[in-house]
């Protein structure tokens, strides 16, 4: 019969991927990636939108030309009247009044903004009142950041309480470590690539935390099922049972991630890329990156970290040692597993032991049979009379 493919074995949970056994490799990779992300934070920083860095926003009717043409003319107006400011981002936006281009620039004073607006109107050949503008202070972005951090702390606290009540504190610690790793790696990708950080990005970061938590809970539920009462037997270590749970839930997690990434990918690549819906780009980007990283951290980091913490438990540690000692005895031939065929040496030892037991139980020459003796007053004679009379006969 042909051997089943990897996909079929994954669906049946029989792939036997040694994920937990290679936890040192996953920890090393995660550590290197987190270090790169932290260095990127310190060296490159983030590309902050005008909501966080402060700036001006101009809305120009889309009828003036293409987006690239509009951006070039606005940059020319800024070079003339904007004191060195440039266009930071440009996107096409649709509204009730029609489509328009939104161009965000660096910080301008009120007088500079009016001069740039007049210069833009002359360059585009339209009236100045057809161009709308607004100014955003960086203080607003600071308020958004502080509230987002407060929401993150509340979320982590609620998650920790739930996981402790639902599972145990070690699972809560492993899940929270996985969540923070997910945040750091996603933020590191933003820093390295130079993606712009906007309020939509912050909302996306908070959203991916819930998705990452769902993945971890699904895996931990299977781990708890496989390890319930594990110390009652000496067949499987805690790490092996957890690795089996990973293999059994891997395809489910993969399917969930793919199903979740498909609409987000459509939102990002079709909505923002092809259709030009720029307002969807920031949210779609952080969701796509964060969900992909969440799947990897929930599989390669959360459960191996849980096994590392559980192995520090004296009860689990003693159980693992018993399992390994039993396997060592079986490998040396000192112990035969239950139900396994005996080796010739073990069978010969069993036959010798049985023969010795039978020899010790055989009667000696001249000895009476070892059967049950009839009860009686003398030498086994029947009670109630003398001689060979039946015990039930009475003298007259």
Task: Please indicate whether residue 8 or residue 76 has the higher confidence score (pLDDT).
Answer: 76
**pLDDT score recorded for residue 366:** 45
Structural element, H or E, at residue 58: strand 55-61
Q: Which helix (H) or strand (E) holds 174?
A: helix 169-193
Q: Helices 238-265 and 199-227, interaxial angle, to 10°?
A: 150
> From CA 249, how far away is CA 218, in angstroms rounded?
8
Cβ 311 vs Cβ 317: under 8 Å: yes
Q: Which of 7-11, 101-105, 347-351 shows the lowest mean pLDDT across its residues?
A: 347-351
What is the residue whose two structure tokens read 């039993």? 326
Element at 139 (helix H, strand E)? helix 138-166
Give the strand pairing for 196-197 and 47-48: parallel
Closest Cα to residue 306, out of 32, 18, 35, 27? Answer: 27
Give the model's pLDDT for residue 7.
60
Q: What is the largest CA-CA distance in the chain?
A: 152
In this prediction, residue 387 carries a pLDDT of 44
Q: 98-105 and 87-95 as β-strands: parallel, antiparallel, unpaired?
A: antiparallel
Say what the pTM is: 0.71
SS3 59: strand
- Alpha-carbon gap, residue 364 to 361, rounded angstroms: 9
Q: What is the pLDDT of residues 206-255, one digit of tens each?
A: 888 888 888 888 889 999 998 988 888 888 999 999 999 888 888 888 88
**Rounded Cα–Cα distance for residues 315 and 318 (Å):** 5
Residue 137, φ and ψ in degrees, nearest 5: -90, 145
CA separation, residue 263 to residues 258, 267, 275 (Å): 9, 6, 15
Burial group, residue 367, by CB count within 10 angstroms (0-12, 13-18, 19+): exposed
Angle of CA points 44, 46, 49, to nearest 5°: 145
* Rounded distance between C-alpha atoms, residue 242 and residue 163, angstroms: 17
Number of other CB atoms surrounding residue 155 within 10 Å = 15
Distance CA 368, CA 317 (A): 58
DSSP 8-state class, residue 9: H
Distance CA 215, CA 257 (A): 9
Helices and strands (H and E) in the chain: how many: 13, 6
| Mean model confidence pLDDT for the chain | 78
Structure-block tokens of residue 76: 């020319």
Q: What is the pLDDT of residues 241-276, one digit of tens each?
A: 999 988 888 888 888 888 888 888 877 777 655 655
């Amino acid at each position: 019969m042909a051997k089943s493919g990897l996909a079929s074995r994954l669906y049946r949970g029989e792939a036997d991927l040694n994920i937990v056994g290679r936890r040192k490799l996953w920890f090393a990779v995660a550590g290197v990636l987190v270090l790169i992300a932290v260095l990127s934070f310190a060296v490159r920083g983030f590309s902050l939108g005008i909501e966080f860095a402060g700036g001006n926003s101009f809305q120009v009717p889309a009828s003036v030309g293409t987006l690239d043409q509009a951006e070039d003319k606005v940059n020319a107006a800024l070079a003339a009247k904007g004191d060195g400011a440039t266009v930071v981002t440009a996107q096409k936006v649709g509204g009730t009044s029609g489509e328009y281009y939104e161009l965000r620039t660096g910080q301008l004073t009120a007088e500079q903004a009016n001069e740039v607006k007049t210069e833009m109107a002359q360059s585009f050949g339209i009236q100045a009142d057809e161009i709308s503008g607004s100014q955003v202070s960086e203080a607003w972005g600071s308020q958004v950041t502080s509230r987002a951090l407060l929401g993150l702390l509340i979320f982590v606290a609620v998650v920790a309480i739930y996981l402790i009540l639902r599972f145990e504190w070690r699972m809560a610690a492993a899940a929270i470590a996985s969540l923070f790793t997910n945040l750091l790696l996603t933020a590191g990708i933003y820093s390295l690539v130079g993606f712009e950080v906007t309020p939509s990005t912050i909302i996306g970061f908070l959203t991916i935390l819930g998705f990452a938590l769902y993945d971890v809970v699904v895996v931990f539920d299977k781990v708890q099922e496989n390890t319930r009462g594990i110390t009652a037997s000496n067949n499987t270590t805690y790490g092996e049972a957890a690795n089996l749970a990973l293999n059994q839930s891997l395809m489910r997690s993969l399917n969930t991630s793919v199903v979740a990434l498909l609409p987000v990918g459509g939102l990002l690549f079709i909505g923002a890329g092809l259709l030009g819906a720029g307002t969807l780009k920031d949210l779609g980007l952080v969701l796509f990156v964060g969900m992909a990283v969440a799947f990897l951290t929930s599989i390669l980091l959360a459960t191996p970290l849980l096994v590392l913490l559980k192995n520090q438990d004296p009860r689990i540690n003693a159980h693992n040692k018993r399992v390994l000692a039993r396997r060592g005895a079986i490998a040396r031939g000192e112990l035969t597993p239950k139900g396994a065929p005996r080796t010739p040496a073990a069978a010969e030892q069993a036959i010798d032991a049985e023969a010795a037991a039978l020899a010790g139980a055989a009667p000696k020459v001249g000895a009476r049979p070892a059967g049950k003796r009839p009860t009686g007053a003398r030498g086994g004679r029947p009670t109630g009379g003398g001689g060979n009379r039946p015990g039930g006969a009475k003298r007259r």
